[in-house]
Structure 1
């Protein structure tokens, strides 16, 4: 199974992504990709990066792994964590080291 890279998600920035949840799927928007420097040059398998998703306030996801349908090669099992919500949106982050 190939490791996901930031390039796999670049076409989806600004687009809605379907997340498999019960009892029905929800959609979140991939707002941005944040690239980070390598932790140990020459030892990393891939460039570390994070994905940041926004969702309406009514879409509440737990810190867990969900299937995200981002198209190319998907769906992908992605673990997300909640960030501090704003007045109208919930924010989530997925970290890839």
Structure 2
């Protein structure tokens, strides 16, 4: 199995991403990719995070979802909700 990299998600930037939820899918937007410094000798790949946002009415509990924007994927990704403000924010960490 190939490990995903930040480059795999570059075509998703600024795009609406379909999240396979029930009873129907919802959309969130990939707002940024944040690269992290590798821990020398320990990381299998460059660590990074994906940051998504959505309107307040789109509520996802922390969990693994099938995400697809039509440009690569679909990928099963663990999303964690961050502190909402005027929108909801989600992060996916790839260590």
TM range (shorter): over 0.9
Mapping of 1:1-97 within 5 angstroms?
1-39=1-39, 41-70=40-69, 71-72=71-72, 74-87=73-86, 89-97=87-95
Per-residue CA deviations over 1:35-77 (Å, capped at 9, x if unaligned) read: 00002x13311000000000011000000000001331x1100
Q: CA deviation at 1:17?
A: 0.5
Structure 2: give runs of 5+ residues left out of the alignment.
none
Moved over 2 A (4+): none
State how many pairs are aligned: 94
Inter-partner Cα distance in structure 2 for 1:75 and 1:12:
12
Unaligned runs of 5+ in 1: none
CA distance in 1, matches of 2:88, 2:44: 31
Q: What is the TM-score normalised by the length of structure 1?
A: 0.93
